[in-house]
Chain A
Amino acid sequence: MASVEHTDSQGLSGEGGVRRRDFINIAAVSFAGVGAVAVVIPLVDQMNPSADVLASASTEVDLSAIQPGQAIKTTFRSQPLFVRHLTEKEIAEADKVDAGGLRDPQTLEERTVDGKKQWLITMGVCTHLGCVPLGAGEGENRGEFGGYFCPCHGSHYDTAARIRKGPAPKNLEVPKFSFTSDTAILVG
């Protein structure tokens, strides 16, 4: 674009042989380029989540009716949320494992609230490709490690919802939550 013409008889040459025309060319095309990028930004950004999708309320869950060994499925930001009341045996099984040797090393303590180790709150979204794992419902397949089992591509999660076998790279995500009372939590 900025070709330098040495035989410039028009007197357009400036410093270092750069013609005014070259400058105008580059300036005009650059300016148009900046304008084009500025137009593309809203065209791309409109596909991001809209305000009403982002304004997702937090979810409150009542734990009083969930017996040890039971779990419930509810929703948080339109995705499934698992709330599970672990039994003593399940807690012992999760603690028995050497967390350092896991694919996504985490202990049950790190995944639960202090002193409320029996309440395992996780997203019900397999970290592989986003299916809902089985195991929260009555009589569903809990996989080889007694936690959750994703039927789509065979990921097995243990009783702390940590990935133990199969293609998923991460443990089931623990969302931000807090206890509002002994028997209620606020997620989000």
Chain B
Amino acid sequence: MGFPWAEQYTPKHPAMRWIDEKLPLPRLVYNSIGAGYPVPRNLNYFWNFGVLAGLALVIQIVTGVIMAMHYGANSLVAFQTVEHTMRDVNAGWLMRYAHANGASFFFIVVYLHIFRGLFYGSYKAPREMVWLLGLVIFLLMMATAFMGYVLPWGQMSYWGAKVITGLFGAIPVVGEPIQTWLLGGFAPGNASLNRFFSLHFLLPFVIAAVVILHIWALHIPGSSNPTGVEVKGPQDTVPFHPYYTAKDGFGAGVFLIAFAILLFFAPNFLGHPDNYIEANPLSTPAHIVPEWYFWPFYAILRAFTVDFFFIPAKLLGVLAMFASILLLFFLPWLDTSPVRSGNYRPTFKKFFLILLIDVAILGYCGGAPAEEPYVMISQIASAYYFAHFLIILPLISRFERPLPLPGSITESVLNRYNIKGEQDALPGMGSDPQPSNAG
């Protein structure tokens, strides 16, 4: 992995040399997140969100393991033990608020990370595997977040569990047995709560493992960059440490400030008051909504209100919701343009902006009650979401005339600061206008 000009690891301390001979772990770290990993010199702040997602995962695991020390995974006591954590456990309120808001921040940074990838074409060859593994992480995150939300055993926990497992009940023939199997009963109960706790504890470590694969796959071609032009020589890169450790450190500081503001001043802003009422199987809350990070998908689920071609509306909604994510697995092959970065794709750029607005509208509708005009708006926005990926994107790739790409990363950096003279002095640049070798 890496480029031939990458810095080589040479242990300075005899102890490190001793370890490195027996187990080359120091070398692995040095080559992964140290000076041994050359990174394009022109990354902007959108490239911070991968590291921030890693930080959010660490916050979730630390606060989560601590919360598990005070939690009772039994439907008789679960709600009380969460309240006990909030009121009686030393700093328990801090752990729980950090965990609940940490989940939101995890999704915020992951959504920004995903949209970064969408705009700059990070999913394109040779980084398809990075994208696919990222989607696997996203799916695991959604499963983990859903099960975690059930654990406090409040009204939204219970009814969320019922609605989401009800999705599987829509599958013909095997649906109901699957739903009963998932819940361990005919409705969410103690059996459901126990297994959700077990899996909620397990999955973050599975996520951590897939994150390692994600980074491994990334480090084979190396990071992409805002121009989308591949690295051509040593002048295009800087070592990860200290350049990007410093830049990511700054980003982490901003992230933690924003996190602290929500955590200490509005810890329940993103939550739902109904979840402070203990689960009651006989009373549905007037308005069941998932957490905000599921709203766009929830809107797609609810957009189907009539049957088509003998397929019941309920099944259509479920299929559409799963399809909206599974679709992204095919993205590297739907967007056939060899140009990666949206900065050099004028038509793509406009439609990317429309997609952003479309997802925001879906999100708004997913959080709104199932009434008009939200149902109609969700239907239009859902249709557009699928049209973007299945129709618009392949067509743009075919007919768009991209802007001229810079000859290299260094050239684009120097042009930006109007440093013309230096270009010719640098080796392997300027004279040979190589196309981006994507695709």
- Report A's interface with B, CB cutoff 8 A: 44, 47-50, 53, 73, 75, 77-80, 103, 124, 128-134, 150-154, 166-169
Contacts and interface: CB of A to CB of B under 8 A. Distances in A.
Given A79-B187, A152-B288, A130 B163 contact: yes
Interface centre among B159, B162, B284 (most CB of A within 10 A): B284
B191 A50 contact: yes
B370 A132 contact: no
A151 B286 contact: yes
A151 B302 CA distance: 12
B167 A78 contact: no
Contacts of A152: 159, 163, 284, 288, 370
Given A128-B166, A132-B284, A47 B195 contact: yes
Nearest to B315: A169
B422 interface: no
Contacts of A77: 186-187
Contacts of B369: 151
Given A151-B284, A167-B314, 15 more contacts: A47-B182, A47-B195, A49-B184, A53-B185, A53-B191, A73-B282, A78-B281, A79-B281, A80-B281, A128-B314, A130-B165, A130-B169, A151-B288, A151-B370, A167-B317
B418 interface: no
B180 interface: yes
A146 to B, nearest CB: 19
Nearest to A128: B314
Chain B interface bracket (under 10, 10 to 19, 20 to 34, 35 or more): 35 or more
Contacts of A75: 281-282
Contacts of A130: 162-163, 165-166, 169, 187
Interface string B182-197: 1011110101000100
Contacts of B304: 167
Contacts of A124: 282
A168 B191 CA distance: 27
Given A78-B189, A131-B159, A154-B371, A166 B305 contact: yes
Contacts of A103: 307
15 contacts: A49-B180, A49-B186, A78-B281, A80-B282, A128-B166, A128-B314, A129-B166, A130-B166, A130-B187, A132-B283, A133-B284, A151-B370, A152-B370, A153-B302, A167-B302
B313 interface: yes
Interface of B: 159, 162-163, 165-167, 169, 180-182, 184-187, 189, 191, 195, 281-284, 286-288, 302, 304-305, 307, 312-315, 317, 369-371, 375
B375 A154 contact: yes
A150 B284 CA distance: 9
Nearest to A168: B314
A47 B184 contact: yes
B163 A48 contact: no
B109 to A, nearest CB: 30
Contact of B370 (A47, A50, A154): A154
Nearest to A56: B186
Interface centre among A73, A129, A169 (most CB of B within 10 A): A129
Contacts of A128: 166, 314
A119 to B, nearest CB: 20
Contacts of B281: 75, 78-80, 132
B181 A131 contact: no
A168 B302 CA distance: 11
Contacts of B187: 77-79, 130
A169 B313 contact: yes
A167 B314 CA distance: 6
A169 B181 CA distance: 22
Contacts of B375: 154
Contacts of B165: 130
Nearest to B161: A130
A151 B185 contact: no
Q: Give the top 7 A-B pairs by smallest Cβ distance, nearest first.
A: A129-B166, A169-B312, A154-B370, A132-B284, A130-B166, A129-B163, A131-B284
A131 B283 CA distance: 9
Nearest to B311: A169
Contact of B181 (A47, A73, A132): A47
Contact of A129 (B162, B181, B287): B162
A89 to B, nearest CB: 27
Contacts of B182: 47
B338 to A, nearest CB: 42
Contacts of A79: 186-187, 281
A132 B159 CA distance: 9
A80 B283 CA distance: 9
Interface centre among A75, A78, A80, A167 (most CB of B within 10 A): A167
A17 B53 CA distance: 58
Nearest to B314: A169
A151 B287 contact: yes
B137 to A, nearest CB: 25
Contacts of A169: 307, 312-315
Given A50-B191, A53-B185, A131 B162 contact: yes
Contact of A131 (B180, B288, B312): B288
A72 B287 CA distance: 22
A154 B305 CA distance: 9
A78 B190 CA distance: 12
Nearest to A166: B305
A79 B158 CA distance: 13
Contacts of A78: 185-187, 189, 281
Nearest to B182: A47
A61 to B, nearest CB: 15
